[in-house]
Amino acid sequence: MTEVYAIVLFLFVLFLLLGTGVWVGLALMGVAWVGMELFTTRPVGDVMITTIWASSSSWTLTALPLFIWMGEILYRTRLSEDMFKGLSPWLARLPGGLVHTNIVSCTVFAAVSGSSAATLTTVGKMAIPELRARNYPEKMVIGTLAGAATLGLMIPPSLALIVYGVTVNESITKLFFAGVFPGLVLAGMFMGYVALVSFTSTGWNPTVERGMSFREKLANSRFLLPVFALITVVIGSMYAGLATATEAAAIGVIGALVLAMFQGSLTWDSFRESLMGATRTSAMIALILSGAAFLKLSMGFTGLPRSLADGIAAMELTRFQLLMALLVFYIILGMFLDGISAIVLTMAVVEPMVRSAGIDLIWFGIFVVVVIEMAQITPPIGFNLFVLQGMTDHEIGYSTKAALPMFAIMVLMVFVLIWFPELATWLPDNMRNSPS
């Protein structure tokens, strides 16, 4: 009975605070404060200070602001323009034509950004005008961009995977590599859908691109060298065991600054804006993580996570049934919370269930990221939809319909992960030993 009372209390206080517009991090702290006051006699202030300090001083967490800063620096370069110039000659002749540049550019930028919103904005500001000028179907342009930009949450360096790793105390480096193959497979599924539509749609009539010789294509590929070099250095250093995620992030920042300097886009103003943008985003995520750590401790005093895990175990659900329940749960939650908030808010309860079911936590991290990717393109809080609204002047409803096929492909990707778990586990299991 105590557990039922605790659940009702926590949910009531949480939705009350969120409904009044309180920041997510502060709302989590408020719920934890109420729980501590009611379920323990320990001094709440001392416990809160200790917990927040412990959660904020993690060495692993230092990778987060560095990767965010790297993405902020690259966002202010000519990276999207260079990627379009380098990729379009190779992709123009594929079934689906230059729409594939949306997907491939998002995949490439995801590997140096880690943020879905940054990926969408960077690629979209170049790709949307170019594809519109070539008469590609508007819904396909918008839909593929909305869906492919979510790859920023999965392909390393992923901010969502850093937050997940810190929350469940798993290796950030292993999580990064667990996301590589699923991210590439999902990008391939998006491209397959584009090719299929190009064959079957009667409204597909883009402007035919001028043919290029192989020499011309190679010449244009020089625009891709800087970003591929940066990806190789950042990701390769981790895979080879030469750097931790934090050290690779520092290397990435230096590489991004050098790239921006050679492009002529590194000015004092752009440097300051990138630094302040990274500071604001990092502070927001750190506040959410601190609130989640305090809430996890508070809930521990009630015994709620363990009781729920035992209750789920008593239901004797199979792993598949548990995963389907969590799939529906996270899709619904994603309609109201951003991905990072959804992760930190639920892991205190979900982690014991997953552990007791014998599910690999590295694999589960990729499962969760795929599902919260869907949250980026589902109303009413789908963040990518709001970004697209600002970039294209389309209503949320239009972008939602355009992104619906991408949502369905992500659902299919969940089942692919369940059927072939090695997609997420093979690379981290076979990577060279390196510290987290």
pLDDT at 411 over 90: yes
User: Is 31 inside any structural domain?
Assistant: no
Q: What percent of the chain has pLDDT over 70?
A: 90
pLDDT at 289 over 70: yes
Q: What percent of the chain has pLDDT over 90?
A: 15
Residue 6, pLDDT score: 66
Q: Which residues contact 174 (CB under 8 A, 6 or more apart)?
A: 362, 428, 431, 436
Residue 402 has, within 13 A of its CA and on its CB side, a CA count of: 23
User: Is 369 inside any structural domain?
Assistant: yes
Question: Among all chains, which residue has been given the structure tokens 């402007």?
Answer: 207
Mean pLDDT in residue range 315-321: 82
User: Is 9 inside any structural domain?
Assistant: no
User: Is 50 inside any structural domain?
Assistant: no
Q: Which domain holds residue 165?
A: 59-430
**Alpha-carbon span 88 to 138, nearest angstrom:** 18
How many domains are contained in the chain?
1
Digit-coded pLDDT (tens) for 328-345: 888 877 776 677 777 877
pLDDT at 313 over 70: no
User: Is 114 inside any structural domain?
Assistant: yes
392: confidence class by pLDDT, cuts 50, 70, 90: confident
- Of the listed ranges 279-283, 369-373, 384-388, the least confidently predicted one is 384-388
**Enclosing H/E stretch for 73:** helix 63-75
- Average pLDDT taken over every residue of the chain: 82
pLDDT at 21 over 80: no
User: Is 302 inside any structural domain?
Assistant: yes
**Alpha-carbon span 144 to 149, nearest angstrom:** 8
Mean pLDDT in residue range 132-155: 88
Digit-coded pLDDT (tens) for 194-207: 999 988 887 788 77
